[in-house]
Amino acid sequence: MTRSGTSDLYPTRGAGAAATLIPREHPTVWPSAYTGPASDGDLVMHDCNGYLKLPDLLTAGEVADHWDELGRLCTDPRVRADERTIVEPGSEDVRSIFEVHRLSDAVAELARDPRVAGRARQVLGSEVYLHQSRINYMPGFDGKGFYWHSDFETWHAEDGMPTPRAVSISIALTDNHAYNGGLMVLPSSHRVFASCAGETPDGHHEESLRSQQVGTPDRDTLRALTHRHGIDQFTGPAGSALMFDSNLVHGSGNNITPHPRSNIFLVFNSVENPLDEPYAAGRPRPEWVASRDATPLR
């Protein structure tokens, strides 16, 4: 069952869907009584560009602890056999481990940390919960990237997230160089919704978490967005982070260097924006990809 009617401000996919750019109706930074780590200037930048670089979010010691934790998770046979662990297309290397805050106390604690959840509350102007968490491990030599996409497009179509009142924080556990598959963003692309053509195949996430085919903007849209604001690449040492709007178009190239690229990826959704039925998919994705428990994070 899918629904995509006149009341849907962000129609995408489905029968007859065409690739178009739809102005975004909702704010990026919501009116908020929360004070916290982000300055007013930070919030203006985040609103304008759709993302904010956070240098030195973690200390070197914290990075080392989380790196060790990643190593334990990747080599734990129970974790490797878990459906929440996604391997690289064409190999058995771990690409991502989802719902990692339930597998790791350290990650659960990090998500609650005021440096992290505090910024999310400031931006979203409400209590927040974890919509998704994962560790991404892009191996060296043969690491595959992610093609351009807006996360919100997928979360709306496949998870039933009503509005783009969600924000992601990606925390680097390895140095992000320009040449090892670092995240590229299209600045200000979060201000339009890039509606996508094509229908969602049943069980799409089983493939899309490895290599996304549906729910990616078409080439004319990408040319237009890039022409207007260019491309920015997130580089920086381990411990730095990128906060970005759920509707920001982003992607990454592959990684043939010997340097792996790893990050902890935490998605905060407003408790006032709980998931509904998918807007353009037959059935919701599993809980471990998109939580339906909107209990506020404390």
Which residues are near its own copies by CB under 8 A?
A: 140-141, 145, 147-148, 177-179, 181, 184, 219, 222-223, 226, 231, 233, 251-259
Compute the least distance from the CB of residue 258 to its own copies, in Å.
Answer: 5
Q: At its nearest, how many Å lie between its own copies and the CB of residue 118?
A: 31
Q: Which of 161, 114, 179 is nearest to 275 (CA)?
A: 161
Cα–Cα distance, 241 to 222 (Å, whole number)? 25
Q: Tell me which residue of 63, 64, 44, 62 sits closest to 52, measured CA to CA.
A: 44
Of 262, 257, 256, 222, which is closest to residue 240 (Cα–Cα)?
262
For residue 289, give both structure tokens. Answer: 């990809």
**Separation between Cα atoms, residue 137 and residue 94, nearest integer Å:** 7
Q: How far is the CB of 225 from its own copies (least distance, A)?
A: 9
Q: Which is nearer to its own copies, 21 or 271 (CB)?
A: 21
In the complex with its own copies, the residue whose CB is nearer, 2 or 257, is 257
Of 3 and 219, the one with the shorter C-beta distance to its own copies is 219
Q: Report, in Å, the least distance between residue 249 CB and its own copies.
A: 12
C-alpha 281/C-alpha 200 separation (Å) is: 6
Name the residue type at position 147. Answer: Y
Supply the minimum distance, in Å, between the C-beta of residue 98 and its own copies: 23
Taking the least distance from each CB to its own copies, the nearer of 26 and 177 is 177
Smallest separation, CB 216 to its own copies (Å): 10
| Residue 260 to residue 258: CA distance in whole angstroms | 6
Q: What are the residue ranges of helices labelled H in the chain?
A: 40-49, 60-75, 77-81, 100-103, 105-112, 117-124, 151-159, 205-208, 219-229
C-beta closer to its own copies: residue 148 or 279: 148
Judged by CB, which is closer to its own copies: 50, or 278? 50
Q: How far apart are CA 154 and CA 12, in angstroms?
A: 9
CB 93, min distance to its own copies, A: 13
Of 36 and 145, nearer to its own copies (C-beta) is 145
The answer to whether residues 121 and 128 touch, using CB atoms and an 8 Å cutoff, is: yes
- SS3 for 220? helix
